[in-house]
Amino acid sequence: MAIGEFSARSGLSAKVLRTYAAAGLLVPAAVDSCSGYRYYAPGQLQQARLILLLRKAGIPLSEIAEFLQHPDPDTLQRWAEELDVELAGRRQALARARDQLSLPAADALPARHGGGRPVLAMAAGSAARQGSSRAVNQDALLVSPPLFAVADGMGDSPGGEIASRLALDTLQAAFTAPPSAEALATAACEAGRAVWQRADSDPALSGMATTITAVVVLDTSPRLRLAVAHVGDSRAYLFQDRELRQLTRDHSLVQGLVDADQLTTRQWRAHPRRALLTRALGLAPVIDADIIMPAVTGAARLLLCTDGLTAQADQAQLAAVLSAVADPGQAARNLAGLASRGGGDDDTAVIVIDIGRPDQQS
């Protein structure tokens, strides 16, 4: 077919087709020696569509030409992983810019879905603090109502920060509507697989891993219900009727010692092997998250945090801030402040979420 028809059917302009041909892509099947007119074979339409997709993914023409000579799944996987790293780097840069300007991460975000109709009264605020002994913040947080999560990355730099960011980016991308505990469990599993694949494919990132504590607020009439997915020692707490309840249970050596009555909850903070986790995303291809589904009656406040906070503040101190500070963003910042006042040198990520039906809010 002539270049005009091929252009119309492939969606590529004649100018773009000439550029591609110069790069060795979609070379015309025939060129009229008199008029110089270019002709394409119908079979080239499929290749045109493939090139369009790869261009949409940002792949340079030279790499596409090479790939089409020898298409293989490893190259596609490598491109996907390079995107993960680039995305993580760009998110990190934005977070640093925000920190440098001392701006809050997110404040009083009204939760909306389904055509913009507010389903639940929900407001959230967050704070992140880089530990004094750290070159980069290895903790990450996600505020994407009704989905919220914190992650604490581990591994030689840059492994820790890549692991936590990659886990939360994957969690968000893999979490599908309608919100449910199943969707959360699947997304958490995908997050673990992404971290493991990345660690397994890059020797420089070998051994990187991350905690994850993620919650989705479910609108299950007549009560609200939370679905919590949890791996590691980051935590979720529920604050209601002036009482703070820890929803998650740490996957750590010291938690085992506390359970066996060999340590008190006071002693665990000072234990030299406090950071030793018995479960973390990235340590195996498939890591099962604990899933719990507490019901919530009336208005309540939810706290998600990494161990940078819980190692420095006890439950009474957390409850005091959650009780005294009405604005969730300010409460999150005050809690992150507790972590530094306690002399902590670890990174800290905190999210405070106010939930409840409008007619139940007090």
Chain residues in the site for Mg ion (CB under 5 A): 152, 307-308, 346
Q: Counting Cβ atoms within 10 Å, is residue 54 exposed (0-12), middle (13-18) or buried (19+)? A: middle
Question: Of 59 and 280, which CB lies nearer to Mg ion in the complex structure?
Answer: 280
Cβ proximity to Mg ion, 106 vs 150, nearer residue:
150
Of residues 161 and 346, the one with the C-beta less far from Mg ion: 346
Other CB atoms within a 10 A radius of the CB of residue 220 amount to: 14
Minimum separation from the CB atom of position 137 to Mg ion (A): 10
In whole angstroms, give the CA distance from residue 213 to residue 306. Answer: 9
Q: Which is nearer to Mg ion, 347 or 354 (CB)?
A: 347
Torsion angles phi and psi, residue 195, rounded to 5: -65, -45
Measured CA to CA, the distance from residue 83 to residue 88 in angstroms comes to 8
Minimum CB separation of residue 308 from Mg ion in Å reads 5
Residue number with CB closer to Mg ion (133 or 264) = 133
Smallest distance from Mg ion to CB 280, Å: 11
CB of 268 vs Mg ion, minimal distance in Å: 14
Q: Kindly state the smallest distance separating residue 124's Cβ from Mg ion, in Å.
A: 21
For the bound state, the minimum distance from the C-beta of residue 291 to Mg ion, rounded and expressed in Å, comes to 23
Q: Are 29 and 44 in contact (CB under 8 A)?
A: yes
* 152 vs 354, beta carbon nearer Mg ion: 152
Q: Please report, as a single letter, which amino acid is at residue 271.
A: H
Helix 159-174 to helix 73-100 angle (10° resolution) is 100
Provide the minimum distance between the beta carbon of 306 and Mg ion in the complex, in angstroms, as a whole number: 5
Joined together, the tokens standing for residue 127 give: 């704070």
C-beta closer to Mg ion: residue 158 or 179: 158
CA distance 64 to 135: 37
Please state, as a whole number, how many other Cβ atoms lie within 10 Å of the Cβ of residue 357: 18
CB of 19 to Mg ion, least distance (A): 50
Amino acid at the residue 180: S
Three-state SS letters, 309-356: HHCCCCHHHHHHHHHHCCCHHHHHHHHHHHHHHCCCCCCEEEEEEEEE
CB 125 within 8 A of CB 349: no
Closest residue by Cα to residue 328 from 353, 304, 350: 353
Of 152 and 161, CB closest to Mg ion: 152
| In the block, residue with structure tokens 């252009």 | 7
Residue 16: phi and psi, rounded to 5, are: -65, -40
Q: How far apart are CA 278 and CA 346, in angstroms?
A: 19
In the complex with Mg ion, the residue whose CB is nearer, 44 or 211, is 211
Smallest distance from the beta carbon of 276 to Mg ion, in angstroms? 12
Residues 165, 281: Cα–Cα separation, whole Å = 12
Least distance in Å: CB of 46 to Mg ion? 50
Q: Which residue number, 7 or 255, has a Cβ lying nearer to Mg ion?
A: 255
